[in-house]
Amino acid sequence: MEKEKQTKTIGVIGSRELSHNYSPKVATVTENLLQRGCRIASGGAVGTDEFCLSHLVHIGEAEKATLYTPWNSYEGFPVKVRALTRQFKEYGGSIIWGNIRGQEEYSIVRTALLQRNIRLIEAVTGIVAFIAGESKGTLFTIRKALAEKLPVVIFCLDRALPEFKNIKWRPIRCGGCWEGAYKAVYTR
């Protein structure tokens, strides 16, 4: 999928383990990106993705976002977010469907989730990631974005900054909703 050149599309991604306490932070960042004229790309998982999609629906801006999913129908989504993803679509959001049902063996589902993350990275011009806990899928997606030399901003919540070869993390100093965020600086 070719990246749109005129409108920036920013992936808002992150941990499934992200506490509901951080929902307002995800919402504020999402809204700030919209105010800057960006489109939003996200997945349909619980946690960060859920908070992002919920806010888009709540403020009536679902049409400015695309959900990337490995599933071929709503039944693949976790029960907790299934109704939200339907509502997102009904309110004008776009969904890029995958090709699995979600009932397949774990290794197939895991591969499909990682392929979904790659499709998202191929479509965006940058990402904002909320990392809590181990976050293997989020770290995989960040690694793919860094390999493409995309702008990457992270919020590390309850964990240390991740380490990647040839990357230094610099605090963002503009304040507001970006307080506590770090941007990737490429050293090579």
Token digits for 42?
A: 């996200």
Please report the pLDDT score of residue 4 as a whole number: 45
Instruction: Map 38-103 to HEC letters.
Output: CEEEECCCCCHHHHHHHHHHHCCCHHHEEEECCECCHHHCCHHHHHHHHHHHHCCCEEECCCECCC
CA 131 to chain centre: 11
Is the predicted pLDDT of residue 1 greater than 70, yes or no?
A: no
Axis crossing angle, helix 23-35 with helix 48-58, rounded to the nearest 10: 60
Q: Please tell me the pTM assigned to this model.
A: 0.94
Secondary structure of residue 110 in the 3-state scheme: helix
Secondary structure of residue 150 in the 3-state scheme: coil
The predicted-structure confidence for 8-48, as pLDDT tens digits, reads as follows: 999 999 999 999 999 999 999 999 999 999 999 999 999 99
pLDDT class for 180, splitting at 50, 70, 90?
very high
- For the segment 68-90, the average pLDDT, to the nearest whole number, is 97
Amino acid making up residue 19: S
The predicted-structure confidence for 143-171, as pLDDT tens digits, reads as follows: 999 999 999 999 999 889 999 999 999 99
Secondary structure of residue 8 in the 3-state scheme: coil
Please report the pLDDT score of residue 2 as a whole number: 52
Please report the pLDDT score of residue 112 as a whole number: 96
Q: Domains along the chain?
A: 9-186 (3.40.50.450)
Using CB atoms within 10 Å of the CB of residue 7, give its burial: 0 to 12 exposed, 13 to 18 middle, 19+ buried: exposed
Torsion of CA 128, 93, 57, 184, to 10 degrees: 0
The predicted-structure confidence for 99-128, as pLDDT tens digits, reads as follows: 999 899 999 999 999 999 999 999 999 999
* Helix (H) / strand (E) containing 65: strand 65-68
